[in-house]
Amino acid sequence: MNHAFTGTLPLLRHAIRLDRWKLLPWFLAFGIIPVVVYAVYGSLFPTPLDAFALQSSLSTNPAFSLLLGPATDLSNAIGFTTWRIQMFGMFFAALMAILAVTRHTRATEDSGQAELLDSGVVGRLARLTSAVLFAWLASAALALLVGAALTLVGAPTTSAYALAGAMGGTGVAFAGVGAATAQLGSVARTANTLAGTVLGISYLVRGLGDTLQDSDWLLWASPLGWAEHIRPASENNPGPLLLLVGVGGMLVILAAWLSSRRDFGLGLIPTRPGPARGRSGIWGLTSRLNRLPLWTWGVNLLILGTVFGLVTGTLSSAFAGNPFVRQLIAFRVATEEQLTYAFVEVLLLILGIIGAVMGIQLALRFFAEEEERRAEWILSAPLSRLRHVIPTAALAILAPAVGMGICSLALATASNVSGSPLDVGKVVLQGAAELPAIWLAVGVALALLGLAPQLRSLAWLILVYWLLLTFFGPILKVPEWLLDTSPFHIVPHVFSAGTDWLSTWWTLAIAAILAVAGLAGYRRRDLVCT
């Protein structure tokens, strides 16, 4: 047992050296965004009354508590900052930890680097331990960064570090999740998908706990729910943080145990031999390669749509219990139907962004074929570049459309079943109205793939920019012209009278140009040969 950890520290140093630059964008985002949100509070809400008005109106749209958590206290800057960034912050900290752990455990086995490392003077558990320590260090650094940045701009120290701790703690817990799933899946991608699913379910369960009536107990079923109980800016309760760290540690012990029960390079989920003959061509290959992500996305969108629909179904009772909403309705400022549709529209916007994630992911997966040298081999057959890439492009365009169809139909159906009648046709149409924006994201991804594959991560960056702009822009009073640079901001409103579809056509045209440019670029450029 003594030797099981030999070599952990050199491996940790190696991991830090490899990942310095990979982590920089994460740290930058985590250093800057909280400060910006904190700093604009004063200009947004000159008087406490303004903040109170926002808090009241927020409670009319439960989509926000589903997405961002409850607005506990908006009467001061740190409370506002907490409400805006804590959920996203926790989500992305967890994602960073998962990716880091997988990258240094499972992915190194896939690439063969682990074989080289393990053959050296390295204990059996050293690689896993160093990867987890690395993710923990990164989470801690991230928390210190958020805490220090907020303190510097004047936030109360306790609250700032409580908020930072919620994020760092989530990272620590999900590093444990990543360590465990890295032992289950037999390739890095499977491991990431498994851990990502756990994260997604945790986010959803936490959201339901915050949104549904009398369901606080649900919060205890999700690590993100525990982190929420820290309640930065109001209670600053350190207990849940210990829980997160403890669970993270226990998951790592579980992972170590699992790793001793599996063979090098294989997962606990075994690989079975397959057919000795095949009949697929390039279309068949593309659908084979994307079968797992397509099923994962399909099931996730179905569940998400259904859950969102059920939440919508409970709206009537939520409205009835809210004095502010009762006033709005009584003074005919808004009808209950309008409020419901406003809610549904935000939900569909969230689903639309998730659809864009799906489209970008499907498009960019294609580059792995080049990176892992399979494109070189298959293109030596009589297969033109266009025929090679077109199935992927078609998939990245069609799959989000099917996905939006599935989730908006599920949303409308579930809502109707649970007591909030919605016009199914309109809901599906509003879902379809998100498609041009999704396709623009796919177009950006395809263009980068064909013209500048080294810069392909820009597609993610642009989506994050659109996401931040669309969800945070209006409340931060960003000028309208800047908001309009996000295609998700200009999605037509099907539920209001006189829908303007002009922006849709523009978005579609730009998306089409980008996609065509990408395909033409792939036809003309050198294959990336490593």
Partner 1 sequence: MTAAVSISGLVKSFGRFRALDGLDLEVLEGEVHGFLGPNGAGKSTTLRILLGLLRADSGTVKVLGGDPWRDVVPLHKRIAYVPGDVSIWPSLTGGEAIDLLGRLRGGLDEKRRKDLLETLELDPSKRGHTYSKGNRQKVAIVAALSSNAELLILDEPTAGLDPLMEATFREEILRERTLGRTVLLSSHILAEVEALADRISIIRKGKVVETNSLEEMRSRTRTNVSATLDDGLGALTALPGIADLRIEGNRVHFSVDAQTLGDAMSVLARHGMSALTVTPPSLEDLFLQHYGEQHEPSGNEDDQRLNASFFARRGRRRAP
Residue 77 CA to residue 163 CA, distance in Å, equals: 13
Q: Does 377 engage in binding with partner 1 (CB under 8 A)?
A: yes
Q: Does 47 engage in binding with partner 1 (CB under 8 A)?
A: no
Element (H, E) at 172: helix 157-184
Choosing from 187, 268, 512, 516, the residue that interacts with partner 1 (CB under 8 A) is 187
Q: Does 280 engage in binding with partner 1 (CB under 8 A)?
A: yes
Short-list 405, 309, 301, 356, CA closest to 511: 356
Specify burial of residue 23 (Cβ count, 10 A radius: 0-12, 13-18, 19+). middle
Contacts of 445 (CB under 8 A, 6+ apart): 359, 360, 363, 364, 396, 456, 459, 518
Choosing from 4, 16, 54, 110, the residue that interacts with partner 1 (CB under 8 A) is 110
Q: Does 104 engage in binding with partner 1 (CB under 8 A)?
A: no
Give the HSE-up count for residue 279: Cα atoms under 13 Å, Cβ half-sphere: 0
Q: In whole angstroms, how close is the CB of 116 to partner 1 at the nearest point?
A: 9
Site for partner 1 in 378-407 (CB under 8 A): 378-385
- Determine the interface stretch with partner 1 among 176-184, 347-355, 452-460, 520-528 (rule: CB under 8 A): 520-528
- Determine the interface stretch with partner 1 among 97-105, 289-297, 338-346, 437-445 (rule: CB under 8 A): 289-297
Residue 58 CA to residue 64 CA, distance in Å, equals: 7
Q: In whole angstroms, how close is the CB of 279 to partner 1 at the nearest point?
A: 7
Short-list 83, 126, 89, CA closest to 104: 126
Q: Does 186 engage in binding with partner 1 (CB under 8 A)?
A: yes
Element (H, E) at 192: helix 188-211
Choosing from 27, 376, 432, 478, the residue that interacts with partner 1 (CB under 8 A) is 376
Q: Does 277 engage in binding with partner 1 (CB under 8 A)?
A: yes
Q: Does 4 engage in binding with partner 1 (CB under 8 A)?
A: no
Residue 416 CA to residue 410 CA, distance in Å, equals: 10
List C-alpha distances in Å: 269 to 184, 256, 260.
6, 16, 14
Give the HSE-up count for residue 529: Cα atoms under 13 Å, Cβ half-sphere: 6
Q: How far is CA 502 from the centre of its chain?
A: 30
Residue 430 CA to residue 141 CA, distance in Å, equals: 42
Q: In whole angstroms, how close is the CB of 278 to partner 1 at the nearest point?
A: 3
Give the number of residues in contact with partner 1, rule: CB under 8 A: 43
| End-to-end Cα spacing for the chain | 40
Q: In whole angstroms, how close is the CB of 294 to partner 1 at the nearest point?
A: 13
Site map for partner 1, 228-267, x if CB under 8 A? Answer: --------------------------------------x-
**Of 187 and 520, which has the nearer Cβ to partner 1?**
187
Choosing from 2, 43, 119, 271, the residue that interacts with partner 1 (CB under 8 A) is 271
Q: In whole angstroms, how close is the CB of 348 to partner 1 at the nearest point?
A: 33
Choosing from 374, 452, 457, 461, the residue that interacts with partner 1 (CB under 8 A) is 374
**Phi, then psi, of 246 in degrees rounded to 5:** -60, -45
- Determine the interface stretch with partner 1 among 64-72, 250-258, 371-379, 484-492 (rule: CB under 8 A): 371-379
Choosing from 113, 236, 418, 485, the residue that interacts with partner 1 (CB under 8 A) is 113
In the complex, which residues of this chain contact partner 1 (CB under 8 A)? 110-113, 186-187, 266, 271, 273-282, 284-285, 288-289, 291-292, 372-374, 376-385, 524-527, 529-530
